[in-house]
A and B are shown apart, each in its own frame.
Chain A
Amino acid sequence: MTWPPDTMQRAEAVLAHYPERRSAVMPLLYIAMREDGRLTEEGMRRVADLTGMTSVQVESVASFHTMYKRRVGAHVVSVCTSISCHLLGGREVLAAVSDETGVPAGETARDGSMTIESVECIGACGGAPAVQVDYELVEGVTPEKGRELCRWLQTLPPSPSLREGEESSRPVVIRSDDLQQRFGGRRSFDAGPPDPIGAVGPFPAFGPLGTAGGGS
């Protein structure tokens, strides 16, 4: 199996941004996650081919970082429990989210709908406690709002994988501003105008990698 032509084009464009091919391993791993909805052996082999690294070298980079996930649900709910969020109830939010879904921190729901995790500081301390869904931020979350967020996630239709043909069905887009409006409270700072771009899976939404959804 290889990546479809438009993905390969994107990968080559990413490689062109670096003086050495190996330097593109991190962005290419995100592209691999976008292709398969998670990080797979095959995706890592593809990244190895593109960068001139061995599969083991690619895996050693992937396993160093928490965001390259081998096992992950359709969405990842990350609850911050670092110091500022800890002081303002981050652990209670995490407990509520786990209780609501029956999914312990660090685990994935049986139906694959979501992964729940406790994360270290996500730079939203002024709006603590903070949560991210697919790395889209929502600040000022209460335990009850955390429960609501999980119930809402469970109602979302499953995102189609690229392999099944993106043209036929538009993926669900998770946007920070939507989350904030529905489930958030105090923010760290005035975020300015809404961002129309959002996440389409459990990886960061970033245009140059083709991992983003929404917009015009």
Chain B
Amino acid sequence: MTDRILTTRMEAHPADSHTMSRYEATGGYTALRKALGMKPEEIVAEVKASNLRGRGGAGFPTGVKWGFLAPARPRYLVINADESEPGTFKDRQLLERDPHQMIEGAIISAFALAVNHAFVFIRGEYSRSARRVQQAVDEAYAVGYLGRDILGSGFALDVTVHLGAGAYICGEETAMLNALEGKRGEPRIKPPFPAVAGLYAKPTIVNNVETISNIPWIITNGGAAYDAIGPEGSRGTRLLSLSGHVVKPGNYEIVMGMSWRDLIYGVGGGIRSGKGLKCWIPGGASAPWFTPEVLDEPVTLDDIARLGSMAGSGAVVVMDETTNVVAAALSIVRFFAHESCGQCTPCREGTTWLQRILERVLAGRGRPADLDLLLDVCDNISPGLRWPPAMTTICPLGPSAVSPITSIMQHFRDEVAAMIPGGVTAGV
């Protein structure tokens, strides 16, 4: 039973897991050789059969996305290494500790998709990651895994490492494409989707770092072998970023299906200083929060969705019983207000208003009407306050800012009210 795919090399060889020599010595680039002997459509079929789902946040099936690619040429592959969802640091580890795994996955994917130019869009703050990836790209060019006529196959691929410059929204795939085209990183209205009209209006696939890093294993072992790992709907392993008030924060590659209790108290070592658990965010700052009554529910994509949240980017942020939930929600709302690109009024204005209201509540200057006002503003951003959220905006950033508010109002409304002068008598 395989329980790890992505992190075995870095674990076994911490001193040089990022180098070409170590990567090749541990089986690296054999999947590429195998893939170059396959037909491109056979590779796509293996990825479809694996039921690999995207690891960037939306969880869309990778093979299905690849299947949408329009026939026009040239086509592009963009690897989304703009990891910025608060709480998430898994891709940084993959970029810094095993960059060749991602590059081999990129070459195989490009061959399967008839792409001759791939971009790795790495956030500007990940300067060390970008250096590691560039070093690995240079090594790959030097031995003929990149460039013209790769391993005598006639297939050519160039990889450009592109540094972002501090805008979370560029992690949204169409914003990323605009940034790569030299425009402001503002999301585009979809459709058309990138697979039809992406970079330079050409067919483009945008995949996350972790997603692409799974490709070599799938080609080596077959899609069916990958599909045999983990519960249905959450196949393969998943790299979870555990942070906040846990004893042992870190990235953990797990097979999904364990309970939240096993994840937080087993893997994470429990809550610091023996404190009690108050709540946690199951999938990055955009996700609605969970409270201890669901501790024994399984950690899978579908179960998290069933309970009204999302696995998102795999970031689990744990809060202990002493946490001021208004201050925590404000931290998240401030993030979205700061990162709103400003195109859509509900997001641009709404996130700012949510921030202002929470700030005055936190400062003890809240008004009793603020309890309802918070939800009213949320309703204007995402009508009905449903999950998954209804959209009034081009991209999901605005609705994401609603999650922390609805979470604290659903689970901790009396705590919020208690911070407002006259709030308890007025509104609970």
The answer to whether B319 touches A26, judged by C-beta atoms less than 8 angstroms apart, is: no
**Interface residues on chain B, size class:** 35 or more
B89 at the interface (CB under 8 A from A): yes
A128 at the interface (CB under 8 A from B): yes
The answer to whether A84 touches B86, judged by C-beta atoms less than 8 angstroms apart, is: yes
Distance between A196 CB and nearest chain B CB, rounded to angstroms? 10
Give residues 151-175 of A contacting B (CB, 8 Å): none
A119, B331: Cα distance in complex, Å? 11
Assess A137 versus B128: contact at CB under 8 Å? Given A123-B84, A189-B97, A193-B16. yes
Distance between B307 CB and nearest chain A CB, rounded to angstroms? 20
The answer to whether A212 touches B335, judged by C-beta atoms less than 8 angstroms apart, is: no
A84, B323: Cα distance in complex, Å? 12
Residues of B within 8 A of A183 (CB): none
Out of B10, B96, B328, B339, name the residue touching A83 (CB < 8 Å): B328
A120 at the interface (CB under 8 A from B): yes
A199 at the interface (CB under 8 A from B): yes
The answer to whether B242 touches A192, judged by C-beta atoms less than 8 angstroms apart, is: no
* Residue in B125, B251, B319 with the greatest tally of chain A CB atoms within 10 Å: B125
A22, B123: Cα distance in complex, Å? 19
Residues of A within 8 A of B165 (CB): 26, 29-30, 65-68
Distance between A1 CB and nearest chain B CB, rounded to angstroms? 23
The answer to whether B182 touches A51, judged by C-beta atoms less than 8 angstroms apart, is: yes
B131 at the interface (CB under 8 A from A): yes
Distance between A34 CB and nearest chain B CB, rounded to angstroms? 13
Distance between A67 CB and nearest chain B CB, rounded to angstroms? 4
| Binary A-proximity of B133-166 (CB < 8 A = 1, otherwise 0) | 0100000000000000000000000101111111
B249 at the interface (CB under 8 A from A): yes
Distance between B134 CB and nearest chain A CB, rounded to angstroms? 6
Assess A193 versus B163: contact at CB under 8 Å? Given A86-B327, A121-B335. no
Assess A204 versus B124: contact at CB under 8 Å? Given A26-B165, A83-B285, A189-B97. yes
A68, B126: Cα distance in complex, Å? 15
Seed contacts A123-B123, A125-B89, A188-B93; 19 additional CB < 8 Å A-B pairs: A25-B182, A29-B165, A51-B182, A61-B183, A65-B124, A121-B87, A121-B285, A123-B91, A123-B126, A124-B92, A125-B244, A128-B243, A128-B249, A188-B250, A188-B251, A192-B10, A192-B18, A205-B127, A206-B127
The 4 closest A-B pairs by CB, nearest first: A22-B182, A65-B165, A125-B243, A204-B127
- Sampled A-B contacts (15; CB under 8 Å): A20-B200, A23-B180, A64-B184, A65-B167, A66-B165, A66-B167, A82-B335, A84-B86, A120-B84, A124-B92, A125-B88, A126-B241, A126-B242, A188-B249, A192-B16
